[in-house]
Structure formats: structure tokens, C-alpha cells
Structure 1
Amino acid sequence: MSHAHHTLPAEHASAPPVPRRWSMLALLCLAQFMLILDVTVVNVALPDMAADLHLGREALTWVVTAYTLCFGGLMLLGGRLADALGAHRTVLAGLAVFTAASLVTGLAGGASVLLAGRVFQGIGAALLSPSALSIVTTSFHGAERNKALGVWAALGGTGSAAGVLLGGALTDGPGWQWVFYVNVPVGLVALATLPALLPRRAPQPARLDPTGAVLVTAGTGSLIYGLVKAGDAGWGSATAILPLLGALFLYGAFAAVERASRAPLMDLRMFTRRPVAAGAFLMLVATALLIGFFFLGSVYLQHLRGYSALKTGLVFLPVAVATGIGAHLGSRLVGRIGSRVTAVAALVVASGGMVPLAWLPSDGSVYARLLPGLVVASFGVGAVFVTATTTALALVAPEEAGLASGVVNTFHEVGGSIGVAVLSTVAASGIEQGVAGGFRDAFALSAAVAALSALVCLVLVPHGKPQATGGPHVH
């Protein structure tokens, strides 16, 4: 199948449509749904895992972050592999790795196998997600493409919603192992049916940059390690400071490698473009807050309030729905009032929702004290997500959209890792001793971060309305 290159500005108008593309979209979305599900599905299962496998707070934090770390850190390499090997091959390889890793994680009898499984789930996700998105983007054209990408984007909110509910139901029912086992039949069905549906495009000659991918992943891993250690040893301890310094060094090395490389993994010059820098920043903050809420709320409800996993999942359902509604409203507002106003307003709402949680009690009604704040905050965060993507993608030149999208998606996963690590550390006393104080501090920090981010957005986020992009923008 011939694929016109970027010589024609309207290249996608001339490419023939892919047959059975909606069936393919449904399956790719199902696969992507599993990947998103696996960020939040474990949160509700954590206390049961901890009890079964004797995991402390550090190991629990890594159960969440090991996955998002590898997913985020290797995603750009996954996208590059999709070009080099062909997106259809990379999708199937990623799906196979993810499905096998899910089985291993479910069978884990101790922390080391569990975390190894999570790492390989992340590697599979990093191969699958960018190559699947690239297939969706090239298989649909015009209005159909917007519809297909809309469906893809909507998975984010619904995935985290379904994650907490499914996580609760499975943990309380057949056991926490099933939050991983459930991926296996889905993965096998997708592996059996996708090869017939995926368009086969010739691989593009692409230079890979494994060094860059390893450095950025190691840097973020070192950062998370330092942040998690600070919760036990204190911020001034060598066990916290050395890994944090190591992270700075590794990030510096990553920047140097990228600058010297003829085909860098992440073109750091992308960050000199305001829309991309703004989108990456918004994505980092939004995911750090949202995944952090799920982590904190889940541990608070189960450790401190004695909730079952299923009841915890049900408490989080309105939170996840609010995120989806916020995202829907945000996408409307960005087109009407522009990115900057939407981002600032959304972050102010998120911060406002968090403020009452800084006085969270150890008793009293969860529905009166915890839930309203989380619902309001996640409604705001939902709108931030959409603003992040639309700002980064709609305000850059079309030929840079792929690069920009890779940057924003990387910050999506890495943001989740950093958010959970920081909030787990701030709430350490609450998680380990079951007192509300640690949770109060973590929610207070979340409120402050959202408020400060709103101020940053006044300066950073471009003023434009993203839909008005005709051709390449010159800033």
C-alpha cells in the first residue's frame, strides 16, 4: 500500500481509506484501554497485595510507579521502533509482551516477581501505545480522523474510572491477582484478530536511540527512588539526596546525548515552542494530581477507614466520572475561550476542591468530607488533560504533531509516577501508622501545586484558540 510522504500538504486526502478500519479501531482501543486501566486498577488492590505479599509503603509505591515509569520512559523509543519495524509489528509485539507480563504479575509470590512483571507490562505498553496511535492517525482521514481520535482520547477518563471499579470488584471477588489476569484473555483475543485487520505499511528507515531511552528512564527511576526514600529517611538523608542528584546527572546526560544525536529520541528544541512546553507542563501536573488522588484515596479508605476494595472502587466512581465530564467540558471551552483561560480556570477549580481535604478527619462521613473535594478537584483536572493535549497538538505545525504528541504522552506517564512518589512520601506517616495527618499534608500539597500551576499557566500557556490552525504556526 503506497503511503504518500510529507511532500504534499494535503497528503492524507489522497491516501485510500483502510478497509474494516472501525473494527480495527475498536480492538486497538480495547488494547489501549487495558494499558490505561493498569495505571489505576492496582491502586484499589494495593492493601490486599500488601497483606498477601508482605509489601511495605516503598514496595507499594513501586507497584504503581514501576509500570508508569517504563511506559513513559520508553514510549518515544516505542514510537521510533514503530517507524523502523512497521507499526503493525510493534503493536503485536507490545501486546504479546504486555499479555505475558500480566500473567507473570498475577502469579507473583513476592515483591521482586511482582515488580518485574510491572516493569515488563510497562515495556509492552510503551511498544503498543504509540504504534497503535500512529496506525489510528494514518488509517483515518478528515472528519473521520477527528472522530477516531476523539474516541481514543475519551479512553483516558473512562479507563481510570473503570480501573478503580474493576480493581475493587476483582480484588474483593476472585482476588487481587485477577486485576492482572483479566488482561490475558483480552490480550489473546486481540492478538488473534488484529493481524488480519492492521494495515501493513513498509517500515521507514529510522535511527533508534536506545541510549536516550535508557538515560531518561533511569533518570526518572532515580528521581522516584529518591522521592520514595525521603518518606522514610527524611529529605536531608543521603539515601534521598544521592538518588535525586543522580537523577539530575542522568537527565543532564540525556540532554547531552539528545543534542549530539543526529536522530534524537526527543527533540529538545520542541520545548522552545510554547504550545509544546505548555502542553507537557499541564500534562505532568494533571496526571501527577489525578493518579496521586487515586493512590492516596485508596490507601486512606482501606487502611484508615476499613473500607473493602469494592466499596473503595464505588467511592471513586463519581471521581472518575467527574474527570470525564471535566474533559468533555474542557474540550468545548478550549475552542471557545482559548487554552490559557481554560487551563487557569481548571487548575483553580482543582485547587479549590483540594483545600477542604487539608482538614480531612480520621472519622466522620467519607461522602461528606472526602468525596465532594475529590469530585470537584478531578473535574478540574479532567479539563486540564484536554487543554494539555489540544494546546500541544493544535498549535504546532502539522509535521511536528507526532513529535509533540510523543512529548506530551511521555509526560503523561512520568507525571503519574512522580505524583504518586511525592504524595506517598508526604503521606508516609498516614500510610504506615494509619493516621490522617499524613493524608492531610499530601492533599494540602496537591492544592498548593494546582494553585501554583495556575499562576505558571498565566505566563506559559499561549493565548490562542487551538481550532484555528490552518497551516504551520510561526511564533
Structure 2
Amino acid sequence: MAERAAPAREDGPPVMTTAPAREPWTVAVVVCLSAALLPISLTGGALAAPEVGSDFDSGVAATQWVANAYMLTFAAFMAVTGSLADRIGRRKLFLGGLAAFAAAGFLAAAGPSVIVVDLARALAGAGAASVMTSGSAVLAEAYTGPRRPRVFALLGTSIGLGLALGPLIGGALIALGGWRTLFAVIAGIATVMLLVAPALVRESRGPEGEVDWGGGVAFTAGLAALIFALVQAQQLGWTDPVVLLAAVLGAGLLGLFGAIERRRPEPLFDVSLLALPKFLAVCVVPTVLAFGFVALLVVLPPYLGAVEGADSGEVGLSLAAMTVPTLVVPMFAGLLAQRLAPRVILALSLLFQAAGAAWLTGGFHPVAVALVGAGFGLSLTILDGTAVSVVDPGRSGMAAGLFNTVRLTGEAVGIAAVGAALSTFLHARVGDSDAAALLRGESVGELSADYTGALAVVLWTVAGLSLAGAAVVWRLLSQPEPAPVAEPAVLT
């Protein structure tokens, strides 16, 4: 028998009770299956966006919000949902996140307009953030000793499976019943998890403390304003006052977030960690990979539809060539981690992405996207472990939280920035109306070469960014460890 804190009472601190040390694996199954839905919703949304845009004949920005809104709120709410889970209860937030995720899916499936679908996708992202943060906390509390590493390995595998199989599942569902069927099926599975979870997941809380509402609001609003500027620039132009105001507001709020965090005794994130060269290096890697791997999940579906004439099922198969390596490569990369230094593995992951992006400039090729996926999968082997190993053990939780927020923020910004750049180059080549049709995945015959050319400019930029990132990471991870401080001599 092992002691474990019972749920906190309102009239006093947690009471220590005895509970079985071995939790049933059903708790892990519910959390892991729920977590697997989150990347499926991301890739499924990317596949559905062109279909949604065509059905409602919406503009480029409104169409891209189908994917961007999900990633935006997913990243932004990660900053506060972890703290909320500790304060109001991990089980409560997990169930609330699942309920929001499921309700958003049904709302998107029944959406009468693209605006409703976009708002539903934003709600789904907020629910996904709650599920991810509270679900991880539930597993950390429920499983101890040697079972904990195994259950978190299962969680990572579940997310990897969702990412790898998401294009296949999403493409098949859209091909069978349309984009509404995709969102409805994902919401239905989430509802099943929501009905089962209350009987299996126990309530738990973290230590007492205040939620950093000021920092959380500043971060969420700042990131939202920045992504809004990037997406709306595709329709309004970079010099539009609304775009400029949103960009300035976003930068100011994110600066305010940093100032708030430096003054709080218990900040959401200790931003001073970014001053550590090795921690900064492991934050650079997923940020750069987001501009390649993650962004391509969103920009390739309309390209394949417009240029290759692929339907939803064929697009899903094409994207699977990129996502499946993210599941397969880590199985073998563990052997490399025993023989190569982290800087070599992380630099290689960025070089793989650079090679794949450069290859794709001549047109779609499955081996090229497989290279991009292999680079992403190679980084997964050591990124999380390296992020927490470069700080003191007492700050490992803070380091993990900051790292994951940087990773998700990079993905949200990467999707928006690459989409905005592609839209800008395409509008310059073919004009507004044809560009909007192409970005919705509609074939415009003789304009296919223009689409490929515009995408090539973006891909060359991604390749260059990946090469620069590899050099920066190599440099940062090559810096020597600081010399230990000598102990003062003691006279005896």
C-alpha cells in the first residue's frame, strides 16, 4: 500500500489516505485514447478546410481559420490549463475539456456558415489544451514508480499514432461522408470517452497557489492577435491598418507577458530559462520544424487538390507518407541516441527537413515528404528529455511546461506564417479570385504551374530556415558546460 493525497477539502489541506499503488490500466487507456483524438483533429481539420471553403464559397482567411483556430487556442490555452488543473481539480478539467472538445465537434459538423465552423474549431482547440494538460497530470498522479515511464510512453505512442494515422482516417471519413462526417465522428468518439471517464478517473489537485491570470490573459491575447494578423494579411494585405494594429498589439501583449512573468514569485513560465543555451537550442528545433512539417500538413491538401486533382482520400494517403515516418523513425532512433550526441541528432532532423523541402520545390514527391516526416520523427527521440535535463531537477516541471508551450506556439505561428506567405506569392502571380480558388483546392487548369512556383518560393525559404536552424542548434549545443563553483575551504 502507498500513501496518496486525497482530493483537497474546501475547509483544509489535502488529507493523506491509503490507496492501492497499482491503478488499473483502464485509466491510462481513457486518457491515451482521448489524447490520440487531438492530432487527428488537427490533420482532419487541415484536410477539411478546402472542402469547407468550397461549400461556403468563403475567402482564404476564413477557410484557413478552420485549421488555424484550432492550433491557436490549443497553444494559447496550454499556458493556463495546467495551472487550472492543479487548482480546480485535474479530473474536473479533463472532463470539462472533453466536453468542450466533443461539443465543438458536433457544432462544427452542423455549422451553417464558415464563421460558426471557425468558432467551433477555436473551442475545440481550447478543449484539446485542457485534455492534454490535465490528462498528463492525471497519469502522473495515478501511476508511480516503474509504471509511470511506461504509461507516459503509451501516451506518447498514442499521440504519435493519432498524428501518423490522422491523414488516412480524416481522408477516408471525408471521402465517405464529407467534412461534416469527419467532425461528427471525432466528436462521437470524444463523447464515448466522456461517458466512460467519470467512473475511472479520480480527482486530484496540486499544491495551493494562485493562477497567474495576468500572464495567462496577456499570453493568450497576444498570441491570438499575432496569428490574426498573419491570417488576415492573406485577404487584406500586409499594409492594411487592421493587420498592422493586430501585429503591434500582439507584440506588445507578448512583451507584457514577459514583464509580468519576471515579476511574479510563481510565474506560469520562468522565461529566464531561454537564456540557457542548451534549453534555447531545444526550443529552436520544434519551432523550425513547425514551419516545415506542421505547416505542410495544412498547405499541402489544397495544393494536391488543385494541382494533382486528388480527392480527400488520395490527399490523406499522400500526407500519410509524411506522417507515418514520425511513428516509425523513433523506433529506430533510440539506437542512434546511444551512439550520437544530441546536437548531431537534432541537427540531422533539421537537415532532413531542409532536404525534403528543397526536393518538394519541383513538385510533390512521396520520398520528399517522407524526408520531412523522418526529420520530425528523429527529433521526437530526444527533445523532451533534453529539455528537462539541461535544468536543475527542481525546475524540470517548469522547463517541460515552457518547452511544450514554445512548441505549440511555434506550430500555430508556423501554420499561419507559411499560409500567409504562400497566399501572398500566389496572389501576386494569378490575382485575387484565382488565388482564392486555388487555395481552396479548386483546379484552375493552366494556373497549376503558378501554384507550384509560389509554393516553391515558400519551400526554398523553409529549406534555408532549416539549414540556419541546424547551424544555430549545433552552435548552442556545442557550448561547454559552466564550470562548477568551488566549495569554500572549511577549517577543522
Taking the aligned partners of 1:40 and 1:218, their CA distance within structure 2 comes to 25
1:25-64 equivalent positions in 2, closer than 5 A:
25-64=28-67
| 2:134 corresponding residue in structure 1 | 131
Which one-letter code corresponds to 2:476 in the other structure? L
| 2:105 corresponding residue in structure 1 | 102
CA contact (8 A) 2:35 2:159 kept: no
1:84-99 equivalent positions in 2, closer than 5 A:
84-99=87-102
| 2:443 corresponding residue in structure 1 | none
User: Which of the residues 390, 398, 418 maps onto 1:395?
Assistant: 390
User: Which of the residues 419, 425, 441 maps onto 2:414?
Assistant: 419
Deviations 1:283-318 (A, max 9, x none): 222233222111121111012222100111011222
User: What SS does the corresponding residue of 2:203 show, helix, strand or coil?
Assistant: coil
| 1:376 corresponding residue in structure 2 | 371
User: What SS does the corresponding residue of 1:123 show, helix, strand or coil?
Assistant: helix
Change (3 A) 1:203 1:351: closer
CA contact (8 A) 1:283 1:385 kept: no
Deviations 1:425-444 (A, max 9, x none): 22115453632222111211
Taking the aligned partners of 2:476 and 2:380, their CA distance within structure 1 comes to 16
| 1:317 corresponding residue in structure 2 | 320
User: Which of the residues 430, 454, 473 maps onto 1:438?
Assistant: 454
User: Which of the residues 205, 208, 217 maps onto 1:205?
Assistant: 208
Taking the aligned partners of 2:475 and 2:19, their CA distance within structure 1 comes to 43
Deviations 1:119-148 (A, max 9, x none): 111111121111111121232234322221
TM, length-normalised to structure 2: 0.85
User: Which of the residues 228, 232, 235 maps onto 2:231?
Assistant: 228
CA contact (8 A) 1:339 1:462 kept: no
In the alignment, structure 1 residue 291 sits paired with structure 2 residue 294 = yes
> Greater CA deviation, 280-289 or 439-448?
280-289
| 1:408 corresponding residue in structure 2 | 403
Note the C-alpha offset of 1:348. 0.9
> Greater CA deviation, 223-232 or 28-37?
223-232
CA contact (8 A) 1:274 1:462 kept: no
Note the C-alpha offset of 1:59. 1.4
Note the C-alpha offset of 1:114. 1.0
Note the C-alpha offset of 1:250. 1.0
Change (3 A) 1:104 1:413: same
CA contact (8 A) 2:219 2:257 kept: yes
Taking the aligned partners of 2:278 and 2:474, their CA distance within structure 1 comes to 13
Taking the aligned partners of 1:92 and 1:295, their CA distance within structure 2 comes to 29
CA contact (8 A) 1:347 1:451 kept: yes
1:180-219 equivalent positions in 2, closer than 5 A:
180-219=183-222
Note the C-alpha offset of 1:233. 4.8
TM, length-normalised to structure 1: 0.88
CA contact (8 A) 1:65 1:417 kept: yes
| 1:457 corresponding residue in structure 2 | 473
In the alignment, structure 1 residue 264 sits paired with structure 2 residue 259 = no
> Greater CA deviation, 186-195 or 25-34?
186-195
Deviations 1:218-270 (A, max 9, x none): 21222222222443455455444332222211111111122222332122123
Note the C-alpha offset of 1:462. 6.3
In structure 2, stretches of 5+ residues that fail to align are 7-17, 427-434, 439-450, 486-492
Note the C-alpha offset of 1:203. 4.9
CA contact (8 A) 2:222 2:249 kept: yes
In the alignment, structure 1 residue 22 sits paired with structure 2 residue 25 = yes
User: Which of the residues 164, 168, 171 maps onto 2:171?
Assistant: 168
Taking the aligned partners of 1:158 and 1:182, their CA distance within structure 2 comes to 17
Note the C-alpha offset of 1:279. 2.5
1:274-353 equivalent positions in 2, closer than 5 A:
274-353=277-356
User: What SS does the corresponding residue of 2:52 show, helix, strand or coil?
Assistant: helix
> Greater CA deviation, 153-162 or 107-116?
153-162
User: What SS does the corresponding residue of 2:112 show, helix, strand or coil?
Assistant: coil
Taking the aligned partners of 1:178 and 1:412, their CA distance within structure 2 comes to 30
